[in-house]
Structure 1
Amino acid sequence: MTGYQPNHPPETLGPFHPPKPPHSSTPPEQHPQPPAPPSAVVLVSGAGGGVSGPAGIYPSLADKIALLLSIPCLRLDYREPARTEYCVADMQAAFDYLRDHFGATHFVIVGWSFGGSPCFTVAAREPVRVAGVATIASQTAKTDGVRALSPRPMLLLHGEEDRVPAPSCSKSLFNSYGDDGDREMKLFPGDDHGLTRHAVQVEGKLLGLWLSVWG
């Protein structure tokens, strides 16, 4: 990540602010930073496209992934939103870009709403390069690829008051994944399609997924 410049200063990153590391008397030079893994994250939005994500968390989330985890992160917009085949091609092109420019070979992908469709589809087509999938309020249309995801990690987040796709969609995806693998579903009470009331918790859960995959 040499030369990486965040969109805004670290002290303004929000809404999730990680706790300060515990104090240590050991000199910093005795704790060399490990080399960044050959991995990256791709964030995609819903049927309307865009790069802000639910509750507008994608910009700050991308900065945290790069600054705190030293993992390249790309917020991807679609050429043709809401058309799964085109969006899958865009995601695979993003993989190639991150490989060519950052040496990334494995990817965790995140999709909001419609974004679950290209995420699960590309995960089925890319069993080596896709290391895990997270979705936020995913639809179930064109998500048959979820059946090919196991045992790679899957995280499903959904608001219990969402009516765009109801939380039953995430429940269906959770069951379709199967029992052999690392799957988690978190339903947020009283929240909507963008999980606007739980943006802090959503960022925390997503960061936890990457720590579990690459930690």
Structure 2
Amino acid sequence: MPGNMWDDAEEPGDLDLRILRVGALPVESAPGALRIRLETTRGPIEGILHPVEGGTSAVICVGGAMGGVDGPADGLYARLPVLLADARVTVFRVDYRQPNVFEECVLDVLAGCSFLRGIGAEELALVGHSFGGAVVIKAAELHPAVRGVVAMSPQLYGTADVETLGRPLLLIHGMSDTVLSHEASEDIYRRAREPKRIALFAEAGHSLIQARDAIDRLLAEWLPPALAGAPLPGGREEHDIL
């Protein structure tokens, strides 16, 4: 992995992570879903996989500093498989090995990319919230199969090299966020290269729950063409929540 990966933080001496074996069990509460355990040289990575037959696209979702697999906006990540079903997109909801340790969480996302590529995915998109928004931006800078990135309520730390991303970027932030100001997304947007888009929701807080339905529609519209490499609308937009 390239130097300066961690911005101004001290770069870890050993950034190697290899998947040793994969385990899978059905998820009783979600028919068709599998609880995945990736045994790696740095410890186990767990997550929930929603596989779709006949498609070659996949999305990896990660949470904030505390980890978890549900995501913001009232459990967005659990809804994504349904929202993307018509486009035949597999969804992998990854839980961090070491929540809030930036470099380790980036490695978890990269391991998820390798796993999905190994089971047949050709085009990948990454979705992250808060701390995870910066994690997916950094991971996308490092993995060539990533076609698009969605960073929701992202932090600034970890995004210093966003201008090197070179992939479609969608930023989503609540303008009433009192945890991480929407100015963080505005700053990332200014520095990122095209194609880029920022959607701001006037009354939404950090969890984005107030904009749940609008975000569902936005991701269902944005992710499939991003995965397909199709042209995407860009620009800055502000929304009232109806």
Q: Which bracket does the TM-score occupy, shorter chain normalised?
A: 0.7 to 0.9
What's the offset of the Cα at 1:136?
0.8
Q: Deviations over 1:185-204 (max 9, x none)?
A: 01101110011111011111
In the alignment, the residues of structure 2 paired with residue 40 and residue 6 of structure 1 have an alpha-carbon distance, to the nearest angstrom, of: 21
Instruction: Looking at secondary structure, tell me which structure has more strand per residue.
Output: 2
Q: 2:98 and 2:145 mapped to 1: Cα distance?
A: 23
Query: Matches of 1:6 and 1:98 in 2, distance apart?
Result: 23
Query: SS where residue 185 of structure 2 aligns?
Result: helix
**Distance across 1 between alignment mates of 2:67 and 2:187:** 24
Tell me if structure 2 keeps the 8 A contact 1:123–1:145: no
2:107 is the counterpart of 1:89: yes
Residue number in structure 1 paired with 2:142: 125
- Give the SS at the match of 1:193: coil
Deviations 1:102-151 (A, max 9, x none): x112211001000012111111112x21111001100101112311112x
User: Would the aligned equivalents of 1:121 and 1:144 in 2 still touch at CA under 8 Å?
Assistant: no
Find the aligned partners of 2:138 and 2:192 in 1 and give their Cα distance: 13
Q: Greater share of helix residues, 1 or 2? A: 1
Match of 1:163 in 2: 178
Q: Which residue in 1 is equivalent to 2:131?
A: 114
Does 1:7 find its partner at 2:69?
A: no
Which amino acid in the other structure matches residue 71 of structure 1?
V
Indicate whether 1:48 and 2:66 are aligned. Answer: yes
Query: How many angstroms does 1:211 deviate by?
Result: 2.5
Q: What is the distance in 2 between the residues matched to 1:211 and 1:6?
A: 26
- CA distance in structure 2 between the partners assigned to 1:78 and 1:91 by the alignment: 8
Q: Supply the distance in 2 between the matched residues of 1:83 and 1:193 (Cα, whole angstroms).
A: 20
Work out the CA distance in 1 between the residues paired with 2:225 and 2:29.
Answer: 24
| Equivalence for 1:176 | 191
Structure 2 partner of 1:17? none
The answer for the alignment partner of 1:197 in structure 2 is: 210
Check if 1:75 corresponds to 2:98.
Answer: no
What residue in structure 1 maps to residue 156 of structure 2? 140
TM-score computed with the length of structure 1 as normaliser? 0.78
TM-score between the two structures when normalised by the length of structure 2: 0.70
Deviation at 1:36, TM superposition (A): 4.2
Q: How many residues in Structure 1 have an aligned counterpart in Structure 2?
A: 182
Q: What are the equivalent positions in structure 2 for 1:47-66 lying under 5 Å apart?
A: 47-54=65-72, 55-65=74-84
- The SS at the match of 2:89 is coil
Match for 1:167: what amino acid?
Answer: H
Q: Can you give the 5+ residue segments of structure 1 that lack an aligned partner in the other structure?
A: 10-34
CA-CA distance at 1:6 after TM superposition: 8.6
| Residue pair 2:63, 2:69 contacting (<8 A) in 1 also | yes
Question: Percent identity of the aligned residues?
Answer: 31
What value does the CA root-mean-square deviation take over the aligned residues? 2.2
The question of whether the paired residues in 2 share the 8 Å contact of 1:116 and 1:143 is answered with no
Contact 1:43 / 1:111 at 8 angstroms: preserved in 2?
A: yes
The answer to whether the Cα contact below 8 Å between 2:132 and 2:154 also exists between their aligned partners in 1 is yes
Larger relative CO (CA 8 A, sep 6+): 1 or 2? 1
